[in-house]
Structure 1
């Protein structure tokens, strides 16, 4: 049995119909508990070649393992672009962007390209990278220009793109006091995610509430 087949067999043995049902509600199709999936990846350790082969299977659980055992800096920009376009499910997309693309030397080049992409899922990756820069490396970003785009486009954007744009809006308001009043105002006017179900003890993703809570915590 090849190494890929062995990993696929391990993942198949861990499948749980209840987890599949829960994940399906979020657009995901894997059926493996993520703690158990991470344990499989931990045993494998970093293996770039195996990661590439697991990704090529197209199986979502295998792709999640691949993202945990790969070397993010080993991928070219073109490879990462193709992977984002082929990611398929939200969880694979999120892990790819957060665990791999953000650590890549090609992240900024891809961020700029993806922001302008007509595919809303690809564009959402660009906005996720932009949120990262708003917090960690804001120098050179046109924050006012980003707010212009959010104000004009977020309300009617598809769900995943809307979520990513809203994240950027909130981070601008949290991290940059000079733009806070405008960011809060945009959130109040657009009302995006105002009614999002939020568990007790968690902060609402509604930007004005999110901004206010994070600022309060920092100033406490």
Structure 2
């Protein structure tokens, strides 16, 4: 047994010991299938530090807690474009998908190529990853993006999109409205007409994901800063 294989076995035993039925029950209500407290998972990742080979082994187990840990200890730039494409296509649970896109794909030199490939993918989960990357570009590098064209697609498709894809399209809509004053009125108007996430339950002190409210509040904060 190699050193990495032995460590993988040890880590899987430790993850199993961290599994809590109450945490699992809460996570399952949100579509996730693991019972490990994320604070404890991050503490384990901090102890292990970056270990890309171990991360690859953890990912291959297909266990959600192991995959979350893999994301935290991998080297994002070490994955090839095809590896990332396969990882996103093989990820169904929301938390693993969210972390994979935000902690790994966004840091990859292949992110723009994947954004273009994924955004129009027939698989709505894969497409949602493309839209998440597009929202990131709107915020950080909007040059060469066809923002009116993006708004056209959002206006035509967001209302009837599957939930995860709809969420990321709405995020992109809000990001355009927040970052680009010249498109703000149209972004708010689209949100008001489509009413996507208008009734989404929002905790006290948090901003609603309903685009008109989200845009207005974030712009207000920018102006007050």
User: Common fold, TM-score beyond 0.5?
Assistant: yes
CA distance in 1, matches of 2:62, 2:223: 46
CA distance in 1, matches of 2:54, 2:222: 43
Which of the residues 187, 197, 201 maps onto 1:183?
187
> Which residue does the alignment assign to 1:13?
17
1:161-180 → structure 2 map (5 Å cutoff):
161-180=165-184
**Conserved 8 A contact 2:58-2:67:** yes
Q: Which runs of 5+ in 1 are unaligned?
A: none
CA distance in 2, matches of 1:80, 1:116: 17
TM-score (normalizing by structure 1): 0.99
Q: Which runs of 5+ in 2 are unaligned?
A: none
CA distance in 2, matches of 1:43, 1:6: 14
> Which residue does the alignment assign to 2:202?
198
- Provide Cα deviations, 1:118-156, integer angstroms capped at 9, x if missing partner: 000000000000000000000010000000000000000
Which of the residues 206, 211, 216 maps onto 2:215?
211
- Deviation at 1:88? 2.0
- Deviation at 1:218? 1.0
- Provide Cα deviations, 1:166-199, integer angstroms capped at 9, x if missing partner: 0000000000000000000000000000000000
Q: Which moved more, 1:5-14 or 1:100-109?
A: 5-14
TM-score (normalizing by structure 2): 0.97
Which of the residues 54, 58, 62 maps onto 2:62?
58
Q: Secondary structure at the match of 1:2?
A: helix
- Provide Cα deviations, 1:95-124, integer angstroms capped at 9, x if missing partner: 000000000000000000000100000000
CA distance in 2, matches of 1:120, 1:145: 19
1:1-220 → structure 2 map (5 Å cutoff):
2-220=6-224
CA distance in 2, matches of 1:152, 1:171: 18
Q: Secondary structure at the match of 1:22?
A: helix
Give the root-mean-square deviation of aligned CA atoms: 0.7
